[in-house]
Amino acid sequence: MKRLATLTLTGVAALALSAAVQAEPDGEAIYNQACMACHMTGAAGAPIKGNEGHWAERLEKGMDELYANSINGIGAMPPKGGHANLSDEEVKAAVDFMLEPVL
The domain locations on the chain are: 25-102
pLDDT band at 22; cut points 50, 70, 90: low
* Cα separation values, 58 from 47, 71, 91, 94, Å: 9, 14, 16, 15
pLDDT above 80 (res 28)? yes
What confidence score (pLDDT) does residue 23 get? 74
Angle of helix 52-60 relative to helix 88-99, nearest 10 degrees? 130
By percentage, how much of the chain surpasses pLDDT 70? 79
pLDDT above 70 (res 80)? yes
pTM: 0.77
Residues 30-64: tens digit of each pLDDT: 999 999 999 999 999 999 999 999 999 999 999 99
Supply the mean pLDDT for the chain.
87
Residue 99 CA to residue 45 CA, distance in Å, equals: 16
25-102 belongs to which homologous superfamily? Cytochrome c-like domain (1.10.760.10)
